[in-house]
Amino acid sequence: MNEAGKKLSLFALTWPIFVEMLLGMLMGNIDTFMLSHYSDQAVAAVGVANQIIFFVNLMFNVVSAGTSILIAQYIGARREQSASEVAAVAIVLNLLFGLAISLLLYAGGPVLFRFMNLPVEVLPDASTFLQITGGFAFIEAVRLTMATILRSYGMTRITMYVALGMNVINLVGNYFVLYGSFPPPFSGVSGVALSTLTARIAGLVLLTLLLIMKTGFSWHWNMVSPRSIRAYAGGLFKIGIPTAGESFFSTMAQLCITSFIALLGTQALSAKIYAQNIGMFNNLFTLSLALATEIVIGRLIGAKLFDEAFQKGRRYVRMAALISAGSALLIALGSSFLIGLFTDDQLIIRQGMYLLWLSVLLESGRAGNLIMVNALRAAGDVKTPVYISVSSVWLVSVFLSYVLGVLVGWGMVGVYLAFIADEWLKTWLLRRRWKSRRWESMELIGSGHTVSGSPF
């Protein structure tokens, strides 16, 4: 593929990923906001259905996570054909997985909602939205995979522009179905679902064309033969399954901590939600920086440039911690005003201010953690970050949240101190792992051939 040698810089990769992630998050929010002028019942229905869609998209990332790293390493190793074959196998695997999920959501959505004790008056709209968007989940599975492939080739601006176009299509479509005079199913909740589906189809078509035009990708059946699938599926799942497992156990831990916070009262829970929402942009940027790090380190590892990868990993983690702490400090300085935009309750405002000031320590630790996790993963050291992250979140974050927040009585300050201890412990352990350089012996793409010079 002809873009393999394109020069990459960390920030040139990072800012388009940030914008793309932000647009992806806003797409669901646009549905909710526009439906709020139509019906509160519709908002509740779509909100519940989107929670299921969000969880399903996380499952599609099992293949996508491995795709990003393997392609980056093959590009770094100048093994273009192997990178193409990984891309083809990833598309087919997520297509098959997406078709199975689509069938389950279309047929089992109403049953799932009844199991969730969804109110009877909300059930029809929720089922309709899920059957349309979830019934075509295979489209989103393939779209997410193609976006991952293009990002792995350094084309993060392209995926950002496609995400922007999808948002425009969704916004315009929602306007016509909600404020026009179209008959069902082109109105109301079903109309919004069709608008979302149309945007996703358009995104898939655009990404397919751009993948062919920008990378020279050409499809032939030998790329997805049983031999090719056996050759590459193992690597994809070797990375993807532990990554998905880490996300699952971390999500369960957060649900457990939320139950502790609920014991502290509604005001404490509200303060946490407001503080998290205000810090959302900082979190998205840090995650974008981590994904860009993964691409850069993956290429260097594929090229066997271990010393350069080692030095960049160390530099990136320091840089991410400083940037994240700086942006968190700016947010903390305006914390009273920012939280006051959401509530007039002085107790919530005061608690939220404490949390946003503590976030200066929290976000700098989290930045180091995310950079190191993605750097190690890109180097082929997949399991160790999972063991460290899962152990720390349960033994430190969950345990100390209950002890400091509930038993000792420090409330949300105690919970955030537990979060800080967890993030900084993970960062320290992961940096030690990076400095050990054991990842140099962890092959992901086989022997291949070693190249000289930087892959950038």
**What pLDDT does 1 receive?**
43
Q: What local confidence, expressed as pLDDT, does residue 94 receive?
A: 93
Domain definitions of the chain by residue range: 10-224, 241-441
pLDDT score of 25: 79
Q: State the Cα–Cα distance between residues 285 and 282, nearest whole angstrom.
A: 5
Please tell me the predicted confidence (pLDDT) of residue 47: 77
pLDDT at 456: 57
Contacts of 446 (CB under 8 A, 6+ apart): none
Query: What separation in angstroms does the CA of 378 have from each of 71, 76, 81, 311, 381?
Result: 10, 12, 20, 14, 7
User: Within a 13 Å sphere around the CA of 65, how many CA atoms are in the beta-carbon half?
Assistant: 25
- Listed in sequence order, the residues at least 6 apart from 262 whose beta carbon sits closer than 8 Å to its beta carbon are 269
Tens-digit pLDDT string for the chain (456 aa): 444 434 568 888 999 999 998 888 777 777 777 777 777 778 778 877 887 887 788 788 888 888 999 999 999 999 988 898 999 999 999 999 999 999 999 988 888 887 767 778 888 888 899 999 999 999 999 999 999 999 999 899 999 999 999 999 999 999 998 888 777 787 888 999 999 999 999 999 999 999 988 887 777 777 778 888 888 888 898 888 898 888 888 878 887 888 888 888 888 888 887 888 788 888 889 999 999 999 999 999 999 999 999 999 999 999 999 999 999 999 999 999 999 887 888 998 999 999 999 999 999 999 999 999 999 999 999 999 999 999 999 999 999 999 999 999 999 999 999 999 999 999 999 999 999 999 998 877 765 444 445 555
Pairwise CA distance, residues 40 & 36, whole Å: 6
The pLDDT score that the predictor gives to residue 312 is 96
Token readout for 455 is 């892959």
Predicted pLDDT of residue 132? 93
Can you give the pTM of this predicted structure?
0.84
